[in-house]
Structures are given as C-alpha cells and as structure tokens.
Amino acid sequence: MIFPPAFFDIMMHLPVHLAEETKIGGPVCYRWMYPIERYLRTLKGYVRNKAHPEGSIAEGYISEECMTFCSRFLEDIDMKLDRPARHERSTVNEPLAGHSIFGSIDYSKKGCKLEPISRSDMLWMRHYILSNCDEAIPWINEHKELMRRTSAHGVDKRHREHFVGWFERKMKVVYAEQKISEELYALSQGPHYMARVFSRCFIHDFLFRTASIEVSFSTQNSGVLVKGDDSTGNMDWYGVLKKIMILDFPSEKEVILFECDWYDVPAATKNKSRGYNKDQYGIIDIDTTRRRYVNDPYVLATQVEQVFYVKCANKSNWSSVVRIKPRTLFSMPESEDTEQQGQIDIDSLDVGVETMTISSQHEELTNWTRNDLQGVTGDASIIEKAIPVPKPNDEDLVDEDDDNDDTYIDDGHVAPVNSLGQG
C-alpha cells in the first residue's frame, strides 16, 4: 500500500521515537501529566475571589499545608490523614526495647492456614533468621572461630550445619546466668513447628501476593527484589513470591518470612549471562525458566522490595524487570558531607531515581546553552530608578459576572435587522 505524502504528518512521525523514549525514560506512568492535571483541579478549587485568582491559590495552598502539618500532631481525632488504609499494615520492626528480627501482622482482614514445617526446612529457616539478626552477630563470630580452630576447611558449611544447635545450647546456659534478654532466648529456642501461611501481605507500603493466586489476575504483585550488600558483592536477587510464612516464637514473638523462587543472575560486576542481560540503558532482561538457589528460598520480609516482569516480544521465555516505588515514599536527598550543607547543589543530589547510562548520540539534547551568540550585560542600577506601578484597587477591577446591564450602546454601528420580523 502506497501512502500519499500528506499522510506523513507530525502524528505519524512521533511514534517512531516511542521505543527510544521508553528506553531512556522508563515506564510512562512515572512521567505523564495526569497527576499534574488532577492537582490543577485542586488548585482551581482554592479560588474564591475571581479578581485575584493567584492570591486565592497561594492562600489556599498555605492554609492546606498548615492544616496538614498540624494534623500530624493530633491524636484520637478523625481526619483525612488517619483514614483506615485499603490494605492492612504489617509491623516489621519491634520498638526500641525489642529485637529487629521480630515483627507482627494484622490478622483481622484475612485468614490463614496452618502448615507443618519439615526438620530440614526448619533448620534452614532458623539459620537464615539468626544470620540476619544483629543481636546474634557476636555469637556467629564466636562459632566460626571455633570451627576454624577445629579445621580450616569447610568452615562455612560446618557453621551452617551446626550453628543452630550450638546456639540453642549456648543460650540456655547464658540465659540461666541472666546475661541475655528474654527476646534473644526466645529466638534461640526456635519457632513452633506449625507455620501460618498467607496468600497476601501489605508491608513496607508494598502489597505482596503469591504467584499461585495471580494466575487469573490481570495485575502482578508477586515479583520480589533483594538488594545485596558488601558481603555478597552488591549483587541483586530477583524472584517470584511463593509463600508468606509467619513463624511463632516463644513469648508471643513472630518472624515474617518469604519463600521465593530465585532467578539465575550473575555477580554485580557482570552485565550478561545465560539467563541475564543488562543493556546500556539499564534495562534488565531475565530468563524466567532458569532458577537458582533452590536450597535457599527464604528471605526476611524486611529485606524485600517489589518489582514486576514484562514479557519480551522477541524472546518467549524472557521478561524485563521494572522496579517500582511505594506511593507513600518521600525521596529526600541525603548528603554524605554534612559540613558543607550550605554549598550543596540540589540538582546534583540523588533522590532515589536509578542512574541510567545514555548513549553519546543524545548528549546534544541536554545542552541548552547557545554558543553562537555572545552574552549581553546590563547595568543593574537601572532597577532602582524604575517607577513602581501602583497596585489597582478592587473598585477598578470589573468582574464579568457583575456586568448585568444590557443597555444598548450607540457606537455608530447599526445592528442587523431580521427581515422575517418585518411587517
């Protein structure tokens, strides 16, 4: 089919750049104008004096900001800021008197089912929980040192197999001497062999659902991401959520665990492997058929962030990873050098947006400085000699709604006569 030249207007040219804009800017939902347009409707509602719309908007905005600020310090009062959330929230950290590993979950809005935990799974769960508990780090170092004294070979393997039992026996002796807290002793005794299993959980302002209940859903909330640290080479793990498990410890303490299927990803220094590919724009593609860490599926709920996977059009078993942020996240800039806070360039601070490497062919798009013309300087003292414009009074401003006089004004032009109305 041959199209005429008039067919190729600007609307046919714009779709050519859609793929390139998606690579550079990411999902369009983070940069479209719908939130701005909705907020403009809110600002228009602040206008009470049509003669001064800007002043009305400024006054209404300041009043709303002050009321919101004061409302955060009020308690036991019904406000729009303390309305019941759509999803129940889960407490992932205990107060300062408790331990960082414990948490709790709201059972009022959903049910759960009980499942027994096998002996081998219980061993892996307890070892992972203790390995990520800050209060157990001194005992972990002590046990590893004992393993090195016995033999220098296979220290990590023997530590993983024997640490849970050694820690339980050690804490019984230390607790009898009243040298540890009750929470740490409860953690050493292990959880109940029956775990409560949920299909969804709202934690860290993310709604997580297991992959088994999303088969018939059009939305996706089962993608998980766990960021690595220096001990793991800053490696990120991507996976899919299978189970949400609550382990009951003595003294009514709980630990929230996620059981996940992890995809095969390489180390942080590599951008490509058999099941992983990261291009120059930072977009990550993963082969969803290749799995890894089958014997280590558990992770703490406090360590998980949410992602979703978009199927690739040119690869049947591959999906692209898209990271999301919670709606209630306030990305505030943080500076490492606190001594020079007055000299910080705000535009250069990272506020949570992932860095992206853009090819050199687009560098001229960001250069808005003209180099072909020389700048012109002016004398700033002229501003002091300027005559101020007097502020108009309210009587001088005429509102269109107040002009109800329909009296005919003879301005020299004759109004047309309707020929049908003439006798």
Mind listing the pLDDT tens digit for each residue in 237-287?
899 999 999 888 887 788 889 999 999 888 777 778 888 888 887 888 999
Q: Mean per-residue pLDDT for 385-398?
A: 59
Place of tokens 């297991």: 210
The one-character DSSP state at 36 is H
> Is the backbone of residue 116 left (phi > 0), alpha (psi -120 to 50) or beta?
beta
> Is the backbone of residue 41 left (phi > 0), alpha (psi -120 to 50) or beta?
alpha
Summarised one tens digit per residue, pLDDT across range 291-321 is 888 888 899 888 889 999 999 888 888 999 9
Q: Mean per-residue pLDDT for 95-103?
A: 54
Provide the pLDDT for residue 359.
39
300 SS3 class: strand
Checking DSSP bridges between strand 253-263 and strand 272-273, what pairing results, if any? Answer: unpaired
| Stretch among 96-100, 104-108, 266-270 having the lowest mean pLDDT | 96-100
Give the whole-angstrom CA distance, residue 286 versus residue 306.
16
Q: Mean per-residue pLDDT for 107-112?
A: 62
pLDDT band at 351 (very low <50, low <70, confident <90, very high): very low
Query: Residue 143 above 70 pLDDT?
Result: yes
Which residue in 283, 89, 298 sits closest to 200, CA to CA? Answer: 89
Provide the pLDDT for residue 383.
56
Provide the pLDDT for residue 373.
58
> Is the backbone of residue 18 left (phi > 0), alpha (psi -120 to 50) or beta?
alpha
Full DSSP string of 40-103:
HHHHHTT---TT-HHHHHHHHHHHHHHHHHHHTT--S---GGGPPPSS---B-S--TTS-TT-B
Residue with the larger pLDDT of the pair 422 and 335 = 335
| Stretch among 5-19, 70-84, 147-161, 352-366 having the lowest mean pLDDT | 352-366
Residue with the larger pLDDT of the pair 7 and 322 = 322
pLDDT band at 45 (very low <50, low <70, confident <90, very high): very high
Provide the pLDDT for residue 66.
92
- pTM equals 0.62
Place of tokens 């197999």: 161
Residue with the larger pLDDT of the pair 155 and 26 = 155
Give the whole-angstrom CA distance, residue 412 versus residue 64.
52
Task: Establish how many alpha carbons lie within 13 A of residue 155's alpha carbon, considering only the half-sphere containing its beta carbon.
Answer: 13
Which residue in 265, 188, 210, 258 sits closest to 233, CA to CA? Answer: 265
Q: Are 117 and 196 in contact (CB under 8 A)?
A: no
